[in-house]
Every structure is written in C-alpha cells, then in structure tokens.
Structure 1
Amino acid sequence: MAEVSISLDAELVVEVMVLAGIGSPQDAVEAVVRDYIARGHRTEARTEPTDRGLREVDREPQDPQG
C-alpha cells in the first residue's frame, strides 16, 4: 500500500490520540480515517435501497400531459 506523509496541527493530533486512547500519532490518525471510511460505507448501505427505489419511480413511463 502506498503511503502519504502530511502535516497536521499538533493539538489536533493530541486530541485524536486522547479520544481514541491510542499512544501513537500515526495509529491514532489512521484509526480516525478508517472509522470515517467505514461510516461512509454504512451510510451508503442504509440509503442505497431508498436511492434505488427513487430511481425506479423516475423510470416509470408517465402519461402524456397537455
């Protein structure tokens, strides 16, 4: 896996470390990013059936108007 180096505000990283209970800055930030991605996938899984249903309604032929 490719790695990316970034700079973050030290106070922000310390806050993440404290909230996550993780002693390593790298591991703490990685945990937050992984959690963010997992939440996105869970949201997609919950909303996907609704989105699909709305798309099916849009596909139904409409009676001519006028």
Structure 2
Amino acid sequence: MAKVNISLDAELVVEVMVLAGVGSPQDAVEAVVRDYIARGHRTEARVQRQDEPRRTTDSLPPLPEG
C-alpha cells in the first residue's frame, strides 16, 4: 500500500493519541481514519436497507381496478 506523509498540528495529534489510547502518532491518526471509513460503510449499509422496501414496492405492477 502506498504511504502518504502529511503535517498536522502537534496539539491535534496529541489529543487524538490520548482519545485513542495509542502511544504512536502514526497509529493514532491511522485508527481515527480507519474508524471514519468504517462509520461511512455502516451508514451506507443502513441507508441501503432502508431504501430496499421502497424499491420493491415501487417496482410492483399496479393492482387492477375494477
């Protein structure tokens, strides 16, 4: 996997390290990024599940009126 070097404010990184309970700045920031991505995937999955019933209802042919 390719690596990227970025500069961050030291206070920000220290706060992330404390909140994540990690001693390494690299590991702390990586944990935050991975958590952010995982939350995005969970949100996408929830939205898809909520939309599925609507899609199946919309795709049914209309009932005959008589």
Bin for the TM-score computed over the shorter chain: 0.7 to 0.9
Aligned residues: 62
Give the alignment's TM-score, normalised by structure 1.
0.77
Give the distance between the partners of 2:55 and 2:11, measured in 1 at CA: 45
Gaps of 5+ in 1: 62-66
Give the distance between the partners of 1:10 and 1:39, measured in 2 at CA: 25
Q: CA deviation at 1:49?
A: 2.1
Gaps of 5+ in 2: 62-66
Q: CA deviation at 1:60?
A: 7.1
- Corresponding residue for residue 30 of structure 1: 30
- Corresponding residue for residue 50 of structure 2: 50
Root-mean-square deviation (CA), in Å?
A: 1.7
Q: Percent identity?
A: 77
Q: Secondary structure at the match of 1:8?
A: coil
